[in-house]
């Protein structure tokens, strides 16, 4: 939203006394974010109104050589516009000035003196687009010679009030303040911020004359008030001259269209109340009755209406329609119908000034994709109190006696009176404002305050549709006096330590281990994946929660596991030339089959997924290292019965709360990965559950030297490694106090046997082992595994 500071200053005299920078700062800190300011006095600097005193065509070109009166010595300008002619007043951009259209952009264009087709040209005569006051490029701008202040050499900016600063307002944070969408409402706030009572403008009044037109509102919920006037009026084409109205509209980023449309738009910009004009005779004809009846009602499902822009829309029961004797003539608040559009033949008009349900209009806006200035205001909930004053001003501006004036206001809202105390205000804000300050702050912006000691009974003005509870009043006080003036304090806290979130702590431990110890790279990937990826890895897309308004099919399914996302990233990084890496991610997953939790929202799981280049044992080694670092030394892998489809079942295992294994060749191939990839994925919440139950093995070390001996066993291949390791550990522990069994090599020469080598390290707790003792221990160990596993000691 664009706001002219000049207009604000006209309504708030005190604003004119404040430096622009300071004023902008105050607006930014006490009303709404100012996204930018544009200094129009710089933009229109060195631009003048001039008279074309001579104009001569350059043969065989579209150019004319013009002599212009610049109020000084006269200048020659070459002009290519078809409408340039002797005697006209035009706008001259002098050499050295910036073309306003390019002002503030990255490539500002500075006008110079140069030769065109051999003729000297100094500066340029400007079109509306070059002046950045519209998009018309059909010719140069012509100035009405009768306009006050117009003479050769007059400053264009002075005559057209362009010495202004235009604020660019972030209106998203004003969605609850429909009143500020008009200059009056905005100015009222500025007045309040400057600590001055706003001088409310006096609106014209209209006498009702309800004989010639009836209004029926089917439900006050959809339309709180509908006012209208019937006028004699013939719309004229837009003035051939540049008008101040056109400049006023341009400052707000709008275009001049025709006198009637301009009047409605200008009044909307001033008051915030949108207006709409129908062709009265068409309106009557469409309704097919002598006495027109305006009926405001919701549409019937499937009802059709062709809008002003020629588009036919199909309505539903949410849309509000304006009808003439039940025949739709406008989509309320959004756009008029083609059947009642004003044109050159229009003799009489109906001017509508109404408010509609913002909830209905919001849906209408979304459904039909209409984002006009009017509907933007309606969807904030314009106050019903503005319809008649705005209508009266419009009638006055159009200068015609109304043939009828009707005001249908079925449900007059009563503004609530909110009671609160001075201490309510100060204790919520942390301030020590006195009663007088509070009262004047509120009264400055139109609140009515009844004071009863230190209690206030506050009645909000009709334009404040957002005040419901005492906190709303407290906000007004805090904001208008400046949040930045509130003394800073600290929360009063007892010395109670924060409770640890065990899952959060575990996640950080896991990250420390994987990144800092195991040199893996943490990644974050999207929570949404494509159906295609799910199918590629063999997940059932039907088990995923699907996003109905996803950005792309690639981001449609909430992921059931993290591995597929990481496999995609693995493929990408391999393609980028990375060779030796492992990736991991900790994030939430879900699927429909997990069901809903006690809150009736999907059960979520927190997963850790790790992907490495290599075989089963690569992933297993990382998993074991992770668990050991977490103090979990005992855990069992089992043959997979149920495991996600993308694991190669023969090279995978499950454990209580996860899976570890190689990815199927078929999956790798479709992801264009040409080497072995192994993965583990586990449920961190379930890991957390078993972690506290695992106590750290008590660590024992001997003061006496330990010895190491290697042992190699030749075994049948089907004997599990783990059984041998455990047997060796048990046998050694039986014979010695401090022991350690570590695998050295796993070797197979032919399929009949395998050789497993271990290093046994052991020590006594109370003496140095003698050579005899050592060999005795080794013999006992060898004997026990030999007999239990039919092993041969190599």
Partner 1 sequence: MTIEEIKKKLKALNGEYAKIKDLPKDERKDFGAKLNEEREKLERELKAAEETAESENIEPIDITAPAALNEEIPRIKQGSKHPLMTELNRVLDIYSHMGFNIIEARQLDDEFHMFESLNFPEGHPARDGYDTFRTEEGFIPPAHTSTMQYRALTKFKPDLEAGGQIAVVIPGRVFRNEDVDATHEHTFYQCEGVFVSEDATFGQMLGVLKNLFENYYGQDLKIKTQPGYFPFTEPSCELLIEKPKSLGGKGDGWLEMLGCGMIHPNVLKTAGIDPEKYKGFAWGGGIDRLAMLKYGLNDVRYFESGKLEFLEEF
Q: Which is nearer to partner 1, 318 or 346 (CB)?
A: 318
DSSP reduced 3-state for 230: strand
CB of 355 to partner 1, least distance (A): 15
Bridge partners, residue 407, by sequence: 227
β-strand partners of 335: 331
Q: Whose structure tokens read 């509907």?
A: 375
DSSP secondary structure code for residue 770 in this structure: P
Which CB, 391 or 480, lies closer to partner 1?
480
Nearer to partner 1, 437 or 573 (CB): 573
- Nearest approach, Cβ of residue 89 and partner 1 (Å): 45
**CB neighbours of 333 closer than 8 A, spacing ≥ 6?**
274, 320, 356, 361, 364, 374, 375, 378, 379
Strand pairing class (113-116; 119-122) = antiparallel
> Under a CB-based contact definition with an 8 Å cutoff, are residues 496 and 208 in contact?
no
Residues 6+ positions from 775 with CB-CB distance below 8 Å? none
CB-nearer residue toward partner 1: 98 or 567: 567
| Smallest separation, CB 327 to partner 1 (Å) | 28
The smaller minimum CB distance to partner 1, of residues 427 and 748, is found at 427
* Under 8 Å between Cβ of 479 and 223: no
End-to-end C-alpha distance for the chain, whole angstroms: 88
Q: Which is nearer to partner 1, 368 or 380 (CB)?
A: 380
Looking at beta carbons only, is 483 or 747 nearer to partner 1? 483
Concatenated DSSP letters of 493-513: --S-PPPP-HHHHHHHHHHII
Q: Which residue has the tokens 């977490």?
A: 630
CB of 473 to partner 1, least distance (A): 10
Q: Residue 402 or 478: which CB sits closer to partner 1?
A: 478
- Distance (Å) of CA 161 to CA 384, 513, 577: 33, 68, 63
Which CB atom, from 18 or from 55, has the smaller least distance to partner 1?
18
Overall residue count recorded for the chain in this entry: 794
The secondary structure of residue 249, as a DSSP letter, is: H
- Residues 6 or more apart whose CB falls under 8 angstroms from that of 564 comprise 529, 533, 534, 536, 537, 539, 646
- What is the dihedral sign for C-alpha 15, 16, 17, 19? positive
* Contacts of 534 by beta carbon, 8 Å cutoff, 6+ apart: 540, 541, 544, 557, 560, 564
The minimum distance between CB 360 and partner 1, in angstroms, equals: 9
Q: Which residues pair with 680 in a beta bridge?
A: 610, 660
Distance CA 55, CA 132 (A): 25
Which residue number, 504 or 701, has a Cβ lying nearer to partner 1? 504
Closest to partner 1 by CB, 371 or 747 = 371
Nearer to partner 1, 524 or 636 (CB): 524
193 vs 349 by CB, closer to partner 1:
193
To partner 1, the closest distance from the beta carbon of 456 in angstroms equals 17
Residue 528 CB contacts under 8 Å (≥ 6 apart), including other chains: 547, 550, 554, 555, 556, 557, 558, 559
Q: Distance between CA atoms of 576 and 585, rounded to whole angstroms?
A: 20
Whichever of 98 and 668 has its CB closer to partner 1, that residue is: 668
What is the closest distance, in whole angstroms, from the C-beta atom of residue 606 to partner 1 in the complex? 8
Pick 352 or 568: Cβ nearer partner 1: 568
Q: Which CB atom, from 417 or from 572, has the smaller least distance to partner 1?
A: 572
Q: Which is nearer to partner 1, 520 or 677 (CB)?
A: 520
For residue 713, the minimal CB distance to partner 1 (Å) is 34
CB of 439 to partner 1, least distance (A): 19
Q: What is the largest CA-CA distance in the chain?
A: 127
**Minimum distance of partner 1 from residue 781's CB (angstroms):** 37
Quickly count: other Cβ atoms within 10 Å of residue 517's Cβ: 11
Contacts of 718 (CB under 8 A, 6+ apart): none
Q: In what order do the strands lie in the sheet with 165-169?
A: 2-4, 165-169, 34-39
CA distance to 270, 561, 626, 664, 682, per residue, from 567 (Å):
59, 11, 21, 12, 16
Chain mean position to CA 185? 26
Structure-token pair, residue 512: 């420390």
Q: How far is the CB of 463 from partner 1 (least distance, A)?
A: 17
C-alpha span between 789 and 728 (Å, rounded): 11
* Residue 628 Cβ vs partner 1, minimum distance, rounded to whole Å: 17
CB of 552 or CB of 787, closer to partner 1:
552
Nearest-approach distance from CB 353 to partner 1, in angstroms? 22
Contacts of 716 (CB under 8 A, 6+ apart): 752, 753, 754, 789, 790
Closest approach of Cβ 594 to partner 1, in Å? 11
Q: What CA–CA distance (Å, rounded) separates 651 from 644? A: 13
Partners of 127 in the β-ladder: 140
Sheet with 792-793: strands ordered across: 738-747, 754-763, 707-715, 792-793
Q: Strand locations in 261-390, DSSP E?
A: 276-279, 293-298, 304-306, 312-314, 320-324, 327-331, 335-336, 348-355
Minimum CB–partner distance for residue 388 and partner 1 (Å): 25
Closest distance of CB 583 from partner 1, Å = 7
CB of 692 to partner 1, least distance (A): 19
- To the nearest whole angstrom, how small is the minimum distance from the Cβ of residue 472 to partner 1? 6
């Amino acid at each position: 939203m664009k706001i002219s500071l000049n207009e604000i200053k006209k309504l708030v005299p005190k604003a004119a006394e404040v430096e622009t920078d300071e004023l902008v700062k105050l607006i930014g800190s006490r009303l709404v974010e100012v996204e930018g300011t544009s200094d129009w006095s710089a933009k229109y600097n060195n631009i003048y109104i001039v008279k074309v005193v001579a104009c001569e065509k350059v043969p065989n070109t579209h150019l004319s050589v013009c002599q212009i009166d610049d109020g000084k010595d006269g200048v020659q300008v070459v002009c290519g516009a078809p409408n340039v002619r002797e005697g006209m007043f035009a706008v001259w951009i002098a050499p050295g000035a910036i073309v306003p259209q390019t002002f503030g952009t990255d490539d500002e264009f500075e006008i110079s003196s140069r030769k065109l087709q051999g003729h000297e040209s100094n500066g340029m005569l400007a079109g509306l687009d070059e002046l950045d006051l519209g998009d018309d490029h059909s010719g140069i701008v012509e100035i009405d010679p009768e306009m006050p202040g117009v003479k050769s050499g007059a400053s264009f900016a002075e005559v057209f009030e362009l010495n202004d600063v235009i604020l660019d307002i972030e209106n998203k944070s004003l969605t609850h303040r429909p009143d500020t969408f008009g200059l009056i409402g905005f100015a009222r706030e500025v007045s309040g911020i400057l600590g001055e009572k706003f001088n409310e403008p006096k609106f014209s009044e209209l006498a009702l004359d309800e004989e010639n037109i009836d209004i029926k509102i089917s439900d006050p919920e959809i339309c709180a008030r509908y006012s209208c006037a019937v006028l004699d009026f013939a719309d004229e084409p837009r003035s051939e001259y540049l008008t101040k109205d056109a400049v006023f509209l341009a400052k707000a980023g709008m275009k001049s269209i025709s006198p009637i449309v301009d009047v409605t738009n200008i009044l909307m910009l001033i008051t915030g109340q949108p207006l709409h004009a129908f062709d009265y005779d068409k309106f009557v004809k469409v309704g097919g009755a002598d006495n027109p009846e305006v009926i405001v009602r919701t549409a019937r499902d499937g009802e059709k209406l062709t809008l002003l822009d020629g588009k036919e829309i199909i309505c539903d029961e949410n849309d509000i329609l304006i009808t003439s004797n039940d025949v739709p003539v406008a989509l309320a608040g959004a756009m008029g119908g083609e059947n009642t559009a004003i044109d050159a033949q229009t003799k009489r008009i109906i001017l509508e000034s109404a408010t509609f349900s913002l909830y209905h209009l919001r849906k209408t806006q979304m459904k039909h994709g209409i984002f006009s200035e009017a509907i933007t205001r309606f969807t904030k909930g314009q106050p019903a109190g503005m319809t008649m004053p705005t209508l009266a001003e419009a009638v006055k501006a159009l200068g015609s006696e109304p043939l009828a004036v009707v005001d249908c206001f079925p449900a007059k809202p009563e503004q609530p009176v909110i009671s609160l105390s001075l201490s309510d205000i100060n204790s919520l804000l942390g301030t020590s404002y006195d009663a007088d300050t509070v009262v004047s702050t509120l009264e400055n912006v139109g609140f009515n305050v009844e004071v009863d000691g230190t209690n206030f009974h506050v009645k909000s003005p009709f334009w404040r549709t957002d005040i419901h509870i005492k906190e709303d009043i407290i906000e007004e006080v805090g904001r208008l006096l400046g949040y930045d003036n509130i003394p800073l304090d600290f929360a009063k806290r007892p010395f109670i330590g924060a409770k640890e979130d065990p899952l959060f702590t575990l996640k950080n431990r896991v990250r420390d281990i994987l990144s800092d110890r195991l040199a893996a790279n943490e990644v974050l990937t999207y929570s949404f994946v494509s159906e295609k990826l799910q199918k590629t890895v063999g997940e059932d897309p039907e088990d995923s929660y699907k996003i109905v308004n996803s950005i792309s099919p690639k981001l449609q399914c909430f992921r059931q596991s993290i591995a597929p996302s990481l496999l995609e990233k693995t493929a990408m990084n391999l393609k980028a030339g990375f060779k030796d890496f492992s990736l991991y991610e900790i994030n939430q997953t879900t699927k429909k089959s997990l069901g809903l939790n006690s809150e009736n929202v999907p059960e979520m799981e927190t997963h850790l997924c790790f992907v490495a280049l290599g075989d089963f044992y690569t992933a297993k080694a990382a998993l074991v290292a992770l668990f050991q670092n977490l103090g979990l030394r005992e855990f069992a892998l089992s043959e997979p019965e149920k495991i996600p489809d993308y694991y190669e079942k023969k090279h995978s295992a499950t454990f209580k709360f996860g899976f570890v294994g190689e990815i199927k060749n078929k999956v790798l191939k479709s992801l264009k990965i040409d080497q072995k990839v192994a993965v583990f994925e586990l449920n961190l919440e379930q890991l957390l559950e078993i972690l506290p139950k695992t106590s750290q093995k008590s660590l024992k070390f001997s003061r006496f030297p330990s010895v190491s001996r290697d042992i190699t066993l030749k075994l049948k291949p089907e004997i599990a490694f783990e059984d041998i390791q455990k047997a060796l550990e048990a046998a050694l522990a039986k014979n010695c106090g401090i022991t350690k069994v570590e695998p050295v090599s796993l070797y197979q020469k032919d399929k009949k046997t395998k050789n497993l080598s271990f290093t046994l390290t052991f020590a006594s707790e109370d003496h140095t082992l003698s050579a005899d003792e050592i060999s005795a221990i080794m013999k006992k160990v060898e004997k026990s595994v030999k007999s239990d596993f039919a092993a041969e000691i190599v």
